[in-house]
Structure 1
Amino acid sequence: MADTPNPIQIQKFLGGIDYPASKEDIVQRAKDSGADDAVLDALNAIPDKEYDAPTAVSEAVSG
């Protein structure tokens, strides 16, 4: 997908989240931080599991 946000854009909206974090927590934090639809769509597409670090979220998004 050409419109997938880059990891830096995504992490900007996840600042302050405590890991490990569930997909639900990650998506909610992004919403609370004002993430745009592209970021929210990317995060909603990641597998529903616990993520132990920002890099794990970035890897899941980049697929």
Structure 2
Amino acid sequence: MDYPAGRQDLITHARKNDAPETVIAALERFEEKDYRSAADVSTEFGKVR
């Protein structure tokens, strides 16, 4: 995954890599902003789960 990445970039990347639907659903609840690292994404997962 290349950063920075927006919510839709994360969803597209997850779908291309056959992520489980539960992961896609969580990504769809992410705030619409630029995520600058995997740590940013991890923090956001903690908020939406």
With structure 2 as the length reference, what TM-score do the two structures score?
A: 0.90
Q: Which has the larger radius of gyration?
A: 1
In structure 2, what is the equivalent of residue 52 of structure 1? 36
How many residues matched? 47
Q: Which runs of 5+ in 1 are unaligned?
A: 1-16
Q: Say which structure is richer in helix.
A: 2
Answering whether residue 6 of structure 2 is matched by residue 31 of structure 1, we say: no
Q: Which runs of 5+ in 2 are unaligned?
A: none
Q: Percent identity?
A: 30
CA RMSD after TM alignment: 0.6
Deviation at 1:61, TM superposition (A): 1.1
Amino acid across the alignment from 2:21: D
The runs of at least 4 consecutive aligned structure 1 residues that moved more than 3 Å come to none
In structure 2, what is the equivalent of residue 43 of structure 1? 27
Q: Say which structure is richer in strand.
A: 1
For 1:61, which of 28, 35, 45 is the aligned residue? 45
